[in-house]
Amino acid sequence: MSTVTVIDPTMTATREIEFRDALREAMSQEMRRDPRVFLLGEEVAQYNGAYKVSKGMLDEFGPRRIIDTPISESGFAGMAIGAAMMGLRPIVEFMSWSFSLVAADPILNNAPKMLYMSGGQFGCPIVFRGNDGAGGQLGSTHSWCVEGLYSNVPGLKMAIPSCPEDAKGLMTTAIRDDDPVFFLESERMLGMKGPVPEGDYLIPFGQAKVRREGTDCTLVSFGRPVNFCLDAAAELAKEGISCEVLDMRTIRPLDIDSIVRSVRKTNYCVVVDQSWSFGSPGSEVASQVHQHCFDDLDNFVHRVHSADVPTPYAFNLEQEYLPNARRICEAVRSCLYRA
């Protein structure tokens, strides 16, 4: 990747803000610097966003750039793609990625294929963003992890931040990217607070970040489950197991080099992915680790996914369904022959 403007150390101070504020800062800063950027989606303007991510943006940018749409995902996603083909830079908010399924045709069949199908003539610089993943007791229709479905498609990029700082930096990169970016947020994390730099900064796609250093086992994850991994690593440390937690930040492109580097050091690898296991980003990572680290591994790559069932509603079932810290600890112990 050539976009390598990492955080400027001389930049104005960081402060603690929420994940949703970090997203809004990125969008607002980009809208100030580039008039081609606009936001559309259900309830984004007058209602201030179903989850208040776009709060106040209508006041600053007006109704021509913060656009309320009807409940019409296929229609407005397609419309935004047409606008992107003309050179605008739309940000499409799906209230939830679960609702993007009715827009599967434009987002999968048009956006990621336009450049190729037109022989390089029409690109599609667009960001689709919204809440992804279970955890809010919304039942199976509203709890989709779309990364398993959508990351299969070539021609798109997929960013899945795990903390406010990354949310802002990855969103800025997503908006400036010339290709379609699927940006997966988590409703469970929107209120999460963390230090975020004030100015604008880019976090390059395809560069994993070591969230915790360790020597005994590599934990590979992205998005909300990174936080489960950090909890698990803290727990396992008490047992004398030192985990290295790698946050992929984007899964397309996938920073396999960082994973390989870590696994060569630890010789064990557990992948934690909240999508279902069959044909998932987690299975892809495992396959690539087996390919690149065959001689380095002291056990096969273990995987922790959401349970292979429709997402349950009941609180206890949903918690157990997720790749939670307890299940991660069990997988690590098993992988390290300490079960």
Binding site for another protein (CB under 8 A): 1-3, 35-36, 38, 64-65, 67, 69-70, 72, 74-88, 105-106, 109-110, 114-123, 125, 154-155, 157, 177-179, 206, 253
Coil/strand/helix, residue 299: coil
Q: Which residue number, 73 or 216, has a Cβ lying nearer to another protein?
A: 73
In degrees and rounded to multiples of 5, residue 110 shows phi and psi of: -100, -60
C-beta separation of 182 from 159 below 8 A? yes
**Dihedral, CA of residue 129, residue 134, residue 137 and residue 142, to nearest 10:** 50
Give the single-character DSSP code of 197.
E
Minimum CB distance to another protein, residue 155 (Å): 5
Q: Which residue number, 3 or 48, has a Cβ lying nearer to another protein?
A: 3
Q: Which residue number, 9 or 154, has a Cβ lying nearer to another protein?
A: 154
Q: Which two tokens stand for residue 208?
A: 């994993």
Catalytically annotated residue among 142, 147, 284, 318: 142
Q: Which residue number, 17 or 80, has a Cβ lying nearer to another protein?
A: 80
Q: At what angle are helices 281-292 and 256-266 packed, to 10 degrees?
A: 60
Catalytically annotated residue among 25, 30, 42, 73: 73
Maximum C-alpha span of the chain:
59
In degrees and rounded to multiples of 5, residue 146 shows phi and psi of: -85, -5
Minimum CB distance to another protein, residue 148 (Å): 21
Active site residue 290: no
Is the bond preceding residue 204 a cis peptide, omega within 30 degrees?
Answer: no
Minimum CB distance to another protein, residue 41 (Å): 12
Active site residue 73: yes
Minimum CB distance to another protein, residue 230 (Å): 29
C-beta separation of 127 from 92 below 8 A? yes
Catalytic positions, written as ranges: 73, 142
